[in-house]
Amino acid sequence: MPFFMILASMMGYGSLARDSGLSFAVSVVSTASVWGLPGQVAFAELFAVGAPVIAIMLASSMANLRFLPMSISLLPLFKNNKRAWQWRYILVFLMSINTWALTLRHGPAMPKNLRLPYYLGLCIICMSGGLAGTAIGYHLAIALPFYVTVSLIYLNPVYFVFLFSAVQYRNCILSLLFGALLGPLFHLISPDWGLPFCGLIAGSSGYWIDRRMPKRTIPE
């Protein structure tokens, strides 16, 4: 399932990258080396309009700022495994929304020594889907009719909506709800800084409101 999700969304990036004038090799390598779609999109789009280097760097970096809190919350799962901990700088390099969300969901219930193979397996599946998708999208985007391409792109956010709907911790659910409400509003105020602030405010309010509310057990 994650393989096809990423295949589909990276096909979209592949065709965008070609339209932006990036070479085939740069497009495929950027999927592996940046490994964060919003940042890659910013890179391709700003490259196309010939923006200054600093502007491209800042925009793509800001678009991928979510990796900071994501890697902070992923790593505790690997802290008790010595081998995984030694590889932590590699582990966060391979992290994507998919591998992060699935590992956070299934990892805590897993024995500690199985988390690393699970996570790496996921990363390999996702990365191969991403690379294949970029390559395919670069070469045959125009061959697909509009309604198929647009549905492939729609698949990605929908999949994440359902992936996050299965989250069970109350503070995370509250943060998700606040984030979903604030995200579009903050984007109107500032496309560059809106998302980090949205995350900070939504996450902090979710966290604090949960602590003020009476304790309850995790459902199901």
Partner 1 sequence: MNNFQFIDSMWGLLILVSLSTYLWRAGGVLIATRIEPRGKLAQWFTCIAYGMLAGLISRIMLMPIGILAETPLIDRLAALAIGFAVFFAMKRRLLPGTLISTTIFLVLTTLRANGII
Residues 119-138 that bind partner 1 (CB under 8 A): none
Site for partner 1 in 151-190 (CB under 8 A): 151, 153-155, 157-167, 171-172, 174-184, 186-188
Closer to partner 1 by CB, 67 or 138: give it.
67
Residue closer to partner 1, measured from CB, 28 or 132 = 28
Of 117 and 184, nearer to partner 1 (C-beta) is 184
| Number of neighbouring beta carbons within 10 Å of residue 51 | 16
d(CA 93, CA 209): 32
Total residues binding partner 1 (CB under 8 A): 96
| Amino acid at site 47 | F
Residues in region 18-47 near partner 1 by CB under 8 A: 22-23, 26, 29-30, 33-36, 38-39, 41, 43, 47
Residues 6+ apart with CB under 8 A from 186: 194, 195, 197, 198
Binding of partner 1 at residue 14 (CB under 8 A)? no
As to burial, measured by CB atoms within 10 angstroms (0-12 exposed, 13-18 middle, 19+ buried), residue 184 is exposed
Q: Which of residues 52-91 bind partner 1 (CB under 8 A)?
A: 53, 56-58, 60-61, 64-76, 79-80, 88-89
Cα distance between residue 166 and residue 74, in whole Å: 18
